[in-house]
Structure 1
Amino acid sequence: MEHSPVKPEAETAVINGLSVDVEDWFQVGAFENVIDRDDWDGLALRVEDNVLRILDMFGEADVKATFFTLGWVAKRHGPLMRRIVDAGHELASHGYDHARVFTFDRKEFAEDIGKAQKILEDASGAKITGYRAPSFSIDQRTPWAYEELAEQGYIYSSSVAPIAHDHYGWREAPRFAFNPLEGSDLVEIPVTTAILGGRRVAAGGGGFFRVLPYAFSRWAIRQVNRDEERPAVFYFHPWEVDPDQPRVPGAPIKSRLRHYTNLKKMAPKLRELIDDFAWGRMDEVAQREAALAKALHDEWAA
Structure 2
Amino acid sequence: MQKNNLTNAMSVDVEDYFQVSAFEKVISRDSWDNLNHRVEQNTDRILQIFSNCNIHATFFMLGWVAEHYPNLVRRIVESGHELASHGYNHIRVTTQNPKSFKEDVSRTKKLLEDLSGISVVGYRAASYSIGRNNLWAHEILADTGYRYSSSIYPVRHDLYGMPEAPRFAFQTPKALLLEIPISTVRLFKQNFPCGGGGYFRLFPYRLSRWALRRVNQKDNQPCVFYFHPWEIDPEQPQQKNLKLKTRIRHYLNLKRMEKRLIRLISEFHWDRIDKVFPSKI
AA matched with 1:166: D
Counterpart check, 1:177 vs 2:169: yes
Identity of counterpart residues, as a percentage?
A: 52
Counterpart check, 1:168 vs 2:160: yes
Root-mean-square deviation (CA), in Å? Answer: 1.1
Residues 87-166 of structure 1 mapped to structure 2, 5 A cutoff: 87-166=79-158
AA matched with 1:201: F
Residues 48-63 of structure 1 mapped to structure 2, 5 A cutoff: 48-63=40-55
C-alpha separation in 2, matches of 1:215 and 1:48? 30
Displacement of 1:42 after TM fit?
0.7
Look up the match of 2:221: 230
Displacement of 1:119 after TM fit?
1.3
Look up the match of 2:3: 9
C-alpha separation in 1, matches of 2:136 and 2:262? 38
Unmatched 5+ residue regions in structure 2?
none
Spell out, residue by residue over 1:58-96, the C-alpha distance to the aligned partner (whole angstroms, 9 max, x if none): 000000000000000000000000000000000100001
Counterpart check, 1:287 vs 2:278: yes
251, 268, 271: which one pairs with 2:259? Answer: 268
Number of residue pairs aligned between Structure 1 and Structure 2: 281
C-alpha separation in 2, matches of 1:110 and 1:70? 15
C-alpha separation in 1, matches of 2:156 and 2:116? 36
Residues 9-88 of structure 1 mapped to structure 2, 5 A cutoff: 9-10=3-4, 13-88=5-80
Runs of 4 or more above 6 Å deviation: none
C-alpha separation in 1, matches of 2:275 and 2:176? 15
TM-score, normalised on structure 1?
0.91
C-alpha separation in 1, matches of 2:134 and 2:244? 30
C-alpha separation in 2, matches of 1:138 and 1:81? 25
C-alpha separation in 2, matches of 1:286 and 1:93? 17
Look up the match of 1:295: none
C-alpha separation in 1, matches of 2:58 and 2:44? 14
TM-score, normalised on structure 2?
0.98
Displacement of 1:123 after TM fit?
1.5
C-alpha separation in 2, matches of 1:166 and 1:281? 29
1:189 and 1:286 in contact (8 A); partners too: no
Look up the match of 1:204: 195
1:14 and 1:225 in contact (8 A); partners too: yes
